[in-house]
Structure 1
Amino acid sequence: MSQSSQIAALLLLALLAANLPFLNERLALIGPRRAEKPLAWRLLELFLMYLLVGLVGLGLEQYGGQIAAQGWEFYAVTLTMFCTFAFPGFVWRYLLRRR
């Protein structure tokens, strides 16, 4: 798997993982189904998904060579990008009018 295809796969995984908390009603994506999850629980799931995707990215970086040290700026930018990826799911869950 080339490096560019690894990056594309990681971005697609991040897009999917960022929207999962808003697209289902299960606790932690595998727990019992609830009538309606509170927003705080969805945000906690979003952060856990961010950590999971980060671990996958770290594994891909380790597979490709040496892991580069990152400062707080890197994590601030990636968290912001992950929240941007979650925007379609948030809009679908909270902003669209349902009949």
Structure 2
Amino acid sequence: MSAAGWFVVLLAVLAANVPFANQRLFAVLPLGAVKKSAWIRLAELIALYFAVGALGFMLEARAGNRFEQGWQFYAITFCLFLVFAFPGFTFQYLVRRR
């Protein structure tokens, strides 16, 4: 696997955990005193999935031929993105705070 492939995988791991790491939208825009709901986190997760996917396609196109993908590819990569988000989800919702 090339360095660009590993870069996309590591970026996906980081991007999948961003919605759960803080109370800001995309880790940049403050939402005020309001706590982010699960729906906002899910929408943010989907948007970051498409952003990482677009970067992956761009890197693939620069490296050579870009391969066409079917729906199976997107279903599997989205499920993998959800697996990557598990540490952030666990930290946000399952860890007890005193």
Question: Which bracket does the TM-score occupy, shorter chain normalised?
Answer: over 0.9
- Structure number with the higher helix fraction is 1
Moved over 4 A (4+): none
Q: What is the number of equivalent residue pairs in this alignment?
A: 97
Q: Secondary structure at the match of 2:30?
A: coil
Q: Distance in 2 between matches of 1:79 and 1:6?
A: 19
How high is the TM-score relative to the length of structure 1? 0.92
- State the partner residue of 1:16: 14
CA RMSD across the alignment: 1.1
Q: Please tell me the residue identity of whatever aligns with 2:20.
A: F
| Residue 67 of structure 1, CA deviation | 1.0
Gaps of 5+ in 2: none
How high is the TM-score relative to the length of structure 2? 0.93
Contact 1:27–1:34 under 8 Å retained in 2 = no
Gaps of 5+ in 1: none
Q: Distance in 1 between matches of 2:68 and 2:2?
A: 21
Q: Distance in 2 between matches of 1:97 and 1:34?
A: 24
Q: Confirm or deny that 1:70 pairs with 2:51.
A: no
Q: Please tell me the residue identity of whatever aligns with 1:89.
A: G
Q: Distance in 1 between matches of 2:29 and 2:51?
A: 17
Q: Please tell me the residue identity of whatever aligns with 1:26.
A: R
- State the partner residue of 1:98: 97
- 1:3-37 deviations in whole A, cap 9, x for unaligned? 52111111110000000000011123321243310
